[in-house]
Chain A
Amino acid sequence: MNERLYDVAIIGAGVSGCAVAREVSRLRLDACVVEAEGDVCCGTTKANSAIVHAGFDAAEGTLMARLNVEGNALFGELSRELDFAFDQIGSLVVCTSEEGRPALEELRDRGVRNGVPGLRIVERDELERMEPNISDAAICALFAPTAGICDPFGLNVALAENAAENGVEFIFDAPVTGVSKSEGVWELCTAQGPIRARVVVNAGGVHADELHNMVSEQKMEIVARRGEYELLDTTAGTHVRHTVFMLPNEMGKGVLVTPTIHGNLLVGPTADDIDDKDDTRTTAAGLRAVVQKSALTVKNIPFRETVTSFSGLRAHQSAHEFIIEEVADAPGFVDCAGIESPGLTASPAIGRMVAGIVRRILSPEERRDFQPQRKGFANLNHIPADEWNELIKEDPAYGTIVCRCCRVSEAQIRDACRRVPGARSLDGVKSRTGACMGRCQAGFCTPRILEILCEEIPDMDMEHASKCGPGSEYVVGKIKGSLEGGGQRA
């Protein structure tokens, strides 16, 4: 049993929880992150559009609008501090009929009121120059230069590593099954035993309502809204240069088409509310819809270059608003719930806001030795030869390429395992290093990465090496293991 009394226990190691953890780690507090899965970035942060929204979408005056614009403004600095990939490529909301123009102008005006800089409407001629593959039906578009794309795994991991370096403890494989309070101390009932804390932050993603409802009479409901995507090879990565949205119209909300930070092309998402909050399956109908809807804004998308399809869940709350507050009838329990799009964009601001609430409750001192910098993983795709050679001189494993599609070396994979919190599975290696994300989809490199996991992680062996934790092991045993045997040495 964990006898420690934490000042703060943050439930959920997604981007919200880790952003909170990093901001809390600026304070002289004993903090931990309690995560149901075996790694960070296993829920909504793992599968989304990876867009840094400009902030014209959310209704004026909402928390969502404010944190979106604030978060967007923080991204550049944060990406330099924490060394994760972010590229401000700009976004376009495409309008395909004159009837739609007033709605587009309304969107621009709302953006202006939300404080989004640089918004302007571009007409067909300019639009075509910006996006040669724009649909023939497009007449104009709202251009938002501050929108961007990022590496959501990289951001999530960076926040977690930086929080850990500044003293936050991570407790994995600890789904919270009960929350109670006695003598002013919260007790979380988890698979890793009880965890006690003075303040609890609920960043439980699609499960945040269940946690909230354990402590409050004011019930909350979070619906898992599934979005399906198709990811195309890097050969299709320049099909568009900006994130291209469709102006919602009578045909629906459309899907976005965007380059990704890894150079692929991403198309999606659909939106279906589902009952099972862990059901991230894709459906034939959903994937068909992705293809059909994308054609409304972008032509000739080379879907034959698709390398994978996936789906992600958004933690949708009926009022479509972030709920970030100390729960009225549960002092010391802070919700960070309903964090759906633009939650990724808002995460830096969410972290600050929640840390502010924690600060108000516990009145801690600032930590003077807070270390804001974190060094990212090497990226061998964009490295000058002399810098790469420096790396190889220090560690020759930087010269041994394991993932050929994404150019990831043995050294990066070992680095991913050695960091805190480190990779414990193939997906953990993938989200940290970008390995396995390419065109072969791990076909070539899986065996070697599993071997490295076994070499790096104490008590790990091939039979336990997994895709994403227990139950997702890759092999069932040695060959001939189930045979009777009986052979003898010649």
Chain B
Amino acid sequence: MLSYDIVIVGGGSAGLSAAVAAHDAGTGSILVLEREPRLGGILNQCIHNGFGLHSFKEELTGPEYAARYIQMADDRKIERMLSTTVLDVSPKLVVTAVSAEQGVFQIEARAVILAMGCRERPRGALNIAGCRPAGVYTAGCAQKLVNIDGWLPGREVVILGSGDIGLIMARRLTLEGAHVQCVAELMPYSGGLRRNIVQCLDDFDIPLLLSHTVVGIEGKKRVEAITLAQVGESLRPIPGTEKRYSCDTLLLSVGLLPENELSRQASVELSPVTRGPLVDESLETSVDGIFACGNVLHVHDLVDFVSEEAAHAGRKAAEYVQAGQERRPRREDELEVRVSGGVRYTVPSRISPSSMDERLVLRLRVGQVFEDCYLSVYAGEKRIVHRRRQVVAPGEMQEITLRRSQLEGLEPGSHLHVLVEGE
């Protein structure tokens, strides 16, 4: 059986960054498994710019950002197998994969980093009633058709969901010759970045209809029309507000879900909120030696933060491997991170102060829009973080940096509490 210190499942932004960081932390034997014939993952089809301001201090397109990391992996001669699909990761860290070249084969790993990314919620997840014709695409599927394959999926387009991919595709399709009639959003606020509303919708006079949803799809063979209706506070359609739009294409940009089928097979405990693994300060999952990072862990807005998080996972996996049998018993001082007051989740969700670095980035999302508020962290009764925020919204991931000194000396069994406060 093949054997590597670290096997990384996925060669997208998370997997590449984890590989580079693990290598730089001194692990020589690393293998990246990628199911596509090229490294870079979803960045390859994100040809718009706006990536890398944080990591590289310049504005790059998706393929350029990917190319930087691919170059780093090449420079370090990190091994990779392309067009290789991972079939199973066992709790004992045996990875089973298949490729045309090698057939079905197994690899023994001392640590595994899960970096499979996420997938789009399909139409069924929304249960939109109506016909099931051709012409209903997830935004990512349309993006692949347009950017990778060079095909225009339709001429008259309505987009449901104002997540960033939906906004980006509104502009992209407009530029390539389609007419985007509107973008409808169920919530009273957009799920995408504000700047994308400006440069993808406003620039092209594409209306954004907040508190609207699709209530009907017509067309037996291909989409002929869709019906939008306004929704009330309960998010249910308001009768009488229906409006019909003649179109041949409906694009769905209605959310991303971490792709955790392999994690489940490996018996990794998942969060019902993020649907990604529950991890500790090292981004290690509930299964010893299995780490997770990037969109498989929780869906990010910005690739820069994926890279940063993945680098952390890579370093920690390297430390794990290097410690080997010598690893000290862990987690006796573990603190559970609880959330309330508008905070939906944090990553990580448990922290062992003795195992953490000097600083730890806690990433979180809120469940609704708050203005003029504070993000607070309590350790027991004591408030240890109190950060003012102009606006926090579900579409924008928040970060809080914790210092080890803030967490030391807490009673065993106590917890951290993260919440949004008015003052």
Chain A residues with Cβ below 8 Å from B87 are 407
Chain A residues with Cβ below 8 Å from B237 are 284
Contact of B221 among A235, A283, A284, A468 (CB under 8 A): A468
* Chain B 127-166: CB-based contact to A (< 8 A → 1; otherwise 0): 1011111110110110011101111111100000000000
Q: Say yes or no: B222 contacts A472, CB within 8 Å.
A: yes
Nearest A-chain residue to B148, judged by Cβ: A447
CA A480 to CA B104, docked complex, whole Å = 42
Contact of B152 among A280, A444, A470, A475 (CB under 8 A): A475
Chain B residues with Cβ below 8 Å from A481 are 152, 177
Interface residues in A363-406 by Cβ distance below 8 A to B read: 385, 388-389, 392-393, 396-401, 404
Chain A residues with Cβ below 8 Å from B354 are none
Chain A residues with Cβ below 8 Å from B215 are 284
**Total inter-chain residue pairs, C-beta < 8 Å:** 155
Given A447-B149, A467-B133: A309 touches B127 (CB 8 Å cut-off): yes
Given A307-B122, A443-B138: A479 touches B99 (CB 8 Å cut-off): no
Q: Say yes or no: B129 contacts A284, CB within 8 Å.
A: yes
Chain B residues with Cβ below 8 Å from A469 are 221
Chain A residues with Cβ below 8 Å from B264 are 235
Interface size on B, residues (CB 8 A): 53
Given A447-B144, A483-B177: A307 touches B124 (CB 8 Å cut-off): yes
Q: Whole-angstrom distance from the CB of B420 to the nearest CB of chain A?
A: 25
Query: In this assembly, does B181 line the interface, its C-beta being within 8 Å of a C-beta of chain A?
Result: no
Chain B residues with Cβ below 8 Å from A471 are 220-222
Query: In this assembly, does B344 line the interface, its C-beta being within 8 Å of a C-beta of chain A?
Result: no
* Chain B 32-43: CB-based contact to A (< 8 A → 1; otherwise 0): 000100000000
Query: In this assembly, does B398 line the interface, its C-beta being within 8 Å of a C-beta of chain A?
Result: no
Chain A residues with Cβ below 8 Å from B150 are 478-479
Chain B residues with Cβ below 8 Å from A306 are 124-125, 127
Nearest A-chain residue to B83, judged by Cβ: A400
Nearest B-chain residue to A410, judged by Cβ: B100
Q: Say yes or no: B127 contacts A287, CB within 8 Å.
A: yes
Q: Say yes or no: A447 contacts B145, CB within 8 Å.
A: yes
Query: In this assembly, does A218 line the interface, its C-beta being within 8 Å of a C-beta of chain B?
Result: no
Interface of B is mostly: mixed
Nearest A-chain residue to B119, judged by Cβ: A440
Query: In this assembly, does A238 line the interface, its C-beta being within 8 Å of a C-beta of chain B?
Result: no
CA A284 to CA B213, docked complex, whole Å = 13
Q: Whole-angstrom distance from the CB of A410 to the nearest CB of chain B?
A: 8
Query: In this assembly, does A439 line the interface, its C-beta being within 8 Å of a C-beta of chain B?
Result: yes
Q: Say yes or no: B124 contacts A480, CB within 8 Å.
A: no
CA A447 to CA B150, docked complex, whole Å = 11
* Chain A 153-168: CB-based contact to B (< 8 A → 1; otherwise 0): 0000000000000000
Q: Say yes or no: A281 contacts B131, CB within 8 Å.
A: yes
Q: Say yes or no: A396 contacts B101, CB within 8 Å.
A: yes
CA A370 to CA B187, docked complex, whole Å = 62
Query: In this assembly, does A441 line the interface, its C-beta being within 8 Å of a C-beta of chain B?
Result: yes
Chain B residues with Cβ below 8 Å from A385 are 96, 104
CA A482 to CA B174, docked complex, whole Å = 11
Q: Say yes or no: B104 contacts A389, CB within 8 Å.
A: yes
Name, among A399, A477, A481, the residue most crowded by chain B CB atoms within 10 Å (CB to CB): A399
Nearest B-chain residue to A397, judged by Cβ: B100
CA A471 to CA B152, docked complex, whole Å = 16
Name, among B122, B135, B148, B151, the residue most crowded by chain A CB atoms within 10 Å (CB to CB): B151
Which residues of B pack against A, CB within 8 Å?
A: 35, 83, 85, 87, 96, 98-104, 119-120, 122-125, 127, 129-135, 137-138, 140-141, 144-146, 148-155, 176-177, 215-218, 220-222, 237, 248, 264
Given A310-B132, A481-B152, 17 new contacts (CB under 8 A): A230-B124, A282-B130, A283-B129, A286-B129, A307-B125, A389-B104, A392-B104, A396-B100, A400-B99, A401-B85, A440-B138, A441-B123, A442-B141, A443-B120, A478-B152, A479-B152, A482-B177
